[in-house]
Amino acid sequence: MTKHNKENERLRQTVLKKTALRKIVESFPKLTVTVLADLVADEFVFGEISRVSREAPVLILRHHDRKVIPGGGANAIYNLADLGVNVLPVGVVGDDEPGRMLLRAFRHKRIPVSGVFKDKSCTTVTKTRILAGFAHTAGQQVVRIDREPVEGPNGHLRREIVLAAREYARASDALLVSDYGYGAATPNLLNVIREKRALDKVPVTLDSRHRLLEFSGVTAATPNESEVEEVLGIRIGNDNDWERLVAAGEQIASAMNLESLLITRGKDGMVVFPRRHKPVDIPIFGSDEVADVTGAGDTVVATFTAALAAGATAEEAAHLANYAGGIVVMKRGTATVSQQELLEALDKTAPLAREH
């Protein structure tokens, strides 16, 4: 094949890939995804630096604004909704202001809330970030305050969660489990939900902060590199050791019997491990000069789940998750990616992979 013919074939393959990815994204509104999640309220308090306190060597901020938006598993739910997917959340909030604001945010996006249970004895997980800056400058985070429940949902709430998740999953194209360690998306709960064949033929994707290997019956998982290092007790290192990364990914995929594994690597992009195929190394989409990585993992798992539910291959789903992750880290605070933004990114940039 001549050089000219090779170039024509390469361009043809690129067009075919982009067309296939576009069709997947365009099919999102036809999908329904149930999300079993630890729901978090992300609070942002913005202040302008006015002076240094005379009481202690600390900055005094003049309060400018406050926002409370969905975070943690609630951010994954929000991302699915903005991608056009019909999303059915299952989780718990407290009977408090952050909980009410989360429910209001869901209703604003027309997300059903009948599977979100309000409990007076529970505290809504709230992560408050204080951002300080001067006039006409972007605020920098100076401290974060976390408010968390003392214990997870009680027995009654766990039963309600199981019943709702079973009912929704049977009518869904996928189940996304977003486990931040607060008790509403545990390995045991997933096992109970799976009883009575409730999850037969329903793909299950997992984003778990600290106990990835404790889950079973999962189709795909999306840990970041540091989470992989934590669960395996290893160090992949900063030297981009490809062989070490591949060995770690294959160990997790084998131990969990996954159909696919997606490891996110920050500025180094992501690597997808499809079952019975070689891993694919995908460079980061967009600039590596990121604005904010808050919630990027939620965007990745939401997009990856939606794509798999639409019938995408693991590699196709990873490319779309990579576009979405690259878009969202250029936004400040906990943010989402819309279906239109994803389509525009596809139009501008072809999917890429690094050779090894």
Catalytic residue among 38, 292, 298, 347: 298
| pLDDT for residue 1 is more than 70 | no
pLDDT at 239 over 60: no
Sign of CA dihedral 248, 39, 336, 346: positive
Q: What is the per-residue pLDDT for 198?
A: 82
Q: Which two tokens stand for residue 315?
A: 């590699």
* Identity at 283, one-letter amino acid code: P
* Residues 97-133: tens digit of each pLDDT: 999 999 999 999 999 999 999 999 899 999 999 999 8
Domain boundaries 17-348, corresponding CATH code: 3.40.1190.20
As given in the structure block, the two tokens for residue 343 are: 């389509």
> Span 3-14, mean pLDDT?
70
Whether 156 and 122 have beta carbons less than 8 Å apart is answered as no
Q: Which pair of tokens denotes residue 89?
A: 């959340």
- What are the pLDDT digits (tens) for 143-154? 999 999 988 899
How is residue 177 written in tokens? Answer: 């489990």
- Give the pLDDT confidence score for residue 312 in this predicted structure: 97
Q: Is 200 a catalytic residue?
A: no
Query: Which pair of tokens denotes residue 211?
Result: 């106990």
| CA-atom Rg of the chain in angstroms | 21
The dihedral formed by the CA atoms of 93, 333, 66 and 146, expressed in degrees to the nearest 10: 50
Give the pLDDT score at 62: 92
Let me know the angle formed at the C-alpha of 308 by 340 and 162, rounded to the nearest 5 degrees. Answer: 105
| pLDDT on residue 266 | 87
Percent of the chain exceeding pLDDT 90 equals 74
Query: In the predicted model, what is the mean pLDDT of residues 305-314?
Result: 97
| CA 339/CA 169 separation, integer angstroms | 23
* Residue 167: HSE in the Cβ half-sphere, 13 Å Cα cutoff: 11
> What one-character DSSP code corresponds to residue 123?
P
Give the lowest-confidence range in 35-39, 159-163, 351-355.
351-355
Q: Residue 177: enclosing H or E segment and its boundaries?
A: strand 174-179
pLDDT at res. 289: 65
- φ, ψ of residue 116 to 5 degrees: the values are -105, 115
The mean pLDDT of 335-348, rounded to a whole number, is 93
Q: Is a pLDDT exceeding 60 seen at residue 254?
A: yes
pLDDT interval class at 3 (50, 70, 90): low
Q: How is residue 327 written in tokens?
A: 């878009």
Contacts of 169 (CB under 8 A, 6+ apart): 34, 175, 193, 198, 199, 202
Give residue for tokens 């990616």: 337
pLDDT at 14: 77
Q: How far is CA 209 from CA 206, 294, 318, in A?
A: 10, 14, 19
